[in-house]
């Protein structure tokens, strides 16, 4: 019974991935026609704000770890 349920789950997961790729959009046109100019690399995706959030969370995590280490050392 367990092997049959595992097979069904694997089949369902496989079918979900197949269906998801079928409904995926086609890639955009490369552009760069005559006189049109090229867009930025990455298509103008907002990477900057995500990088800032990532850096700030890393700083907060590092400060917290340092604070907890100092607190542990002062107790000893």
Q: Which two tokens stand for residue 38?
A: 């090229």
Is 61 among the domain residues? yes
**Residue 53 pLDDT > 60, yes or no?**
yes
How many Å separate Cα 57 from the centre of its chain?
15
DSSP 25: P
**Phi-psi label, residue 25: left if phi above 0, alpha if psi -120 to 50, beta otherwise:** beta
**Residue 67 pLDDT > 80, yes or no?**
yes
Expressed as residue numbers, the domain containing 61 is 52-76
Q: Give me the pLDDT at residue 58, please.
A: 92
Is 59 among the domain residues? yes
For tokens 């026609």, name the residue: 33
Is 73 among the domain residues? yes
Count of domains forming the chain: 1
Is 32 among the domain residues? no
- Average pLDDT for residues 42-64, to the nearest whole number? 78
The pTM assigned to this predicted structure is: 0.38
- Average pLDDT for residues 3-17, to the nearest whole number? 86
**Residue 11 pLDDT > 60, yes or no?**
yes
Q: Give me the pLDDT at residue 76, please.
A: 74
């Amino acid at each position: 019974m367990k092997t049959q349920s595992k097979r069904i789950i694997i089949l369902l997961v496989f079918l979900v991935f197949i269906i998801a790729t079928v409904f995926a959009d086609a890639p955009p046109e490369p552009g760069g026609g005559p006189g049109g100019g090229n867009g930025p690399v990455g298509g103008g995706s907002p990477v900057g704000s995500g990088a800032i959030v990532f850096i700030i969370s890393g700083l907060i995590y590092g400060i917290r770890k340092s604070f907890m280490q100092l607190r542990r050392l002062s107790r000893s």
